[in-house]
Amino acid sequence: MSKEIIHEPIEDFGLSKRTKSTSLFSRVGIVGCGLIGQNLARVASYYGLDVVFVEVSEEKIDEAFSGIIQMLDHRIEHWGLTESEKRAMLSRIEGTTDIAKLAGCDIVVEAIRPVNRGMKIKERKEIFRQIEEVVDRNCIIATNSATVVITELSSELQYKDRCVSIHFFVSSPEARIIEVVKGLYTSDESYTKVCKFVTQINRAMVPVDESAGLISVRIFVVLLNEACEILMEGVASLEDVDMTMKIGFGMRLGPFEVADKMGLDKIVRWMENIYGEFGDVRYKPSPMIKKLVRARHTGVAVGQGFYAYDEKGQKILSAKRSC
């Protein structure tokens, strides 16, 4: 029994001879590791995939790691994860400033946080181009944007058929659902591959036609605009609007709470994009949101949005009402 173990490639032993298959995803690339990137890194590593994320500086890499660690610790504290699972997950995640490290990835997801609005599309196109330079021909290139249209993003790539848009939910990362958009150029093969990836990270997939705002963002921005109207007209208070939607409609978070969590600056960009696409005023950012963004009250991340937050991101409750 002390004989040495023999190693063999399994493909030689199928009943029908197969070629070496590589349809399973094993390495995920992420460009831009903000909240979305961190969530994707966490989820993908949980399901056994290797993750490499690209950030602009060492400082940003540390920031992303501490964000991921914080998420994992939070889950451990709430009994959703064990210490050994956390160690295994972190060992699968690598941070880098070198985009060339994306080589060998089966899918690369672009999830940058754009700084100035006008640059957005240009910036993303440039990133797509850079990604294409370093990855294999059959690597899927995806954007996480819900409003930037994938056909436009991929238009200047050499192989446009491999681009899709996948939209994760920021407000509740545990929502096990992903909207997947097939662009004009996207091949069926690429689309099927993405479906496999989504299944591998245990998420449900909602196929959506290419349309700014998809399902989630488009409905949400209208809801938020209307909630702001109610607030501005003095119909009801902030808390009461949220409470009504939560209790009345069984939402986990009210519209203002969701908006604060996502970041109002991001929402304004969404709204402007969708408004620019459809031209309908109901998508136009409410003056109230714009005012908050101008004051840099952009939500949980800065401690102030519609609500005020403490340093742990917990909502500071206003004084109890009389009734």
Residues that bind another protein (CB under 8 A): 1, 3, 5-11, 13-16, 20-26, 47-50, 78-82, 200
**Under DSSP, is residue 137 helix (H, G, I), strand (E, B) or coil?**
coil
**Min dist. Cβ of residue 81 to another protein (A):** 8
End-to-end Cα distance, the chain: 78
Residue 121: is it exposed, middle or buried by C-beta count within 10 angstroms (0-12/13-18/19+)? Answer: middle
Our CB check for another protein shows the closer of 77 and 209 to be 77
Our CB check for another protein shows the closer of 107 and 264 to be 107
**Min dist. Cβ of residue 76 to another protein (A):** 9
**Min dist. Cβ of residue 62 to another protein (A):** 27
Our CB check for another protein shows the closer of 250 and 279 to be 250
CB atoms inside a 10 Å sphere around CB 138: 13
Our CB check for another protein shows the closer of 103 and 121 to be 103
Our CB check for another protein shows the closer of 21 and 158 to be 21
**Min dist. Cβ of residue 92 to another protein (A):** 9
Looking at this protein, which amino acid is placed at residue 76? I
Q: CA torsion sign, 130 to 136 to 138 to 144?
A: negative
Q: How far is CA 323 from CA 99, 161, 256, 320, in A?
A: 57, 59, 22, 9
**Min dist. Cβ of residue 104 to another protein (A):** 12
CA–CA gap between residue 213 and residue 322 (Å, rounded): 40
**Min dist. Cβ of residue 203 to another protein (A):** 14
Q: Which of 4, 105, 97, 89 is nearest to 58 (CA)?
A: 97
**Min dist. Cβ of residue 221 to another protein (A):** 28
Our CB check for another protein shows the closer of 25 and 283 to be 25
Residue located via tokens 């590593």: 45
List, edge to edge, every strand of the sheet that includes 163-167: 93-96, 50-54, 27-31, 107-110, 140-143, 163-167, 177-182, 204-209
Our CB check for another protein shows the closer of 44 and 181 to be 44
